[in-house]
Amino acid sequence: MPIGLPEFVENPEPRCPVILLCDTSGSMAGAPIDALNEGLATFKSEVYQDEIAALRVEVAIVTFGPVQLTQDFVTIDNFTSPRLVADGVTPMGEAIEYSLDLLEQRKVTYKNNGVQYYRPWVFLLTDGAPTDSWYDAAQQVRQAEAKSRLLFFAVGVKGADMNTLKQIAVPERPPVLLDGMKFKEMFHWLSTSMKRVSSSQVGGSMIVLPAVGWGQVAT
């Protein structure tokens, strides 16, 4: 039997992976990017305070404008909240496809190391419209959701193209339009959700998520 990676030898707990797919295009400059950075710090702090979630929740951050892996998968205790900077356009399609590939690679790593994992989350946050083709990305999201390979969430900040987000997200989980600058409240919801998921049984029944009090569900 192959020797596992040190991170899984030291912490063999099941993993609860989440990709934070953050729009850092130029239009996010100023208050939005500042609020996003504060929200990321809140997420780190709140998940870290939960003993089980701190061992099981794994975070990766993919930013777009341009697309880049800002933080590869790490458990919360090894996660340092970054200071994101706004610049560039909005290659959302490319960013989604990149994230889905990253997720599949991580699943292979889990399997190769004998580590169980919860259904991954991809959490998209954007304030604009895609500046590239997003149709293939939307199809990949829908197919992955249909096969229960992930849960995809989309949040639009003021100015976001909610119609496009509705075509990317699955109908049973439509995008949410963020109320103003309630990034901290949104990340509190996300951290609470991650705590609930990570304390459940892997492969168990669906978790009841907290009420969305930080935005309006797109209809």
Instruction: Give the residue extent of every domain in the chain.
Output: 6-217
Give φ, ψ of 57 to 5 degrees.
Answer: -75, 125
Tokens standing for residue 79: 């996660």
Give residue 41's identity as a one-letter amino acid code. Answer: A
pTM over 0.85: yes
- Exposure on the CB side of residue 88, measured as CA atoms within 13 A: 17
Q: How far apart are CA 47 and CA 38, in angstroms?
A: 14
- Measured between alpha carbons, how far is residue 162 from residues 32, 174, 219 in Å? 17, 10, 10
The pLDDT value recorded for residue 205 is: 74
DSSP for 34-80?
HHHHHHHHHHHHHHHTSHHHHHHEEEEEEEETTTEEEEEEEEGGG--
Q: How far apart are CA 171 and CA 62, in angstroms?
A: 24
Reported as type and span, the H/E element at residue 108 is helix 92-112
In contact, 127 and 23? CB cutoff 8 Å: yes
Architecture (CATH level 2) of domain 6-217: 3-Layer(aba) Sandwich (3.40)
In contact, 107 and 144? CB cutoff 8 Å: no
Report whether the peptide linkage leading into residue 66 is cis, meaning its omega lies within 30 degrees of zero.
yes
Residue written as token pair 């919860």: 118
The pLDDT value recorded for residue 41 is: 96
Q: What is the pLDDT of residues 118-164, one digit of tens each?
A: 999 999 999 999 999 999 999 999 999 999 999 999 999 999 999 99
Burial track 56-91 (b if 16+ CB lie within 10 A, e otherwise): bbbbbbbbbbebeeebebebbeebebeebebebebb
* Regions in the chain scoring below 50 on pLDDT: 1
The pLDDT value recorded for residue 3 is: 55
Tokens standing for residue 71: 């933080």
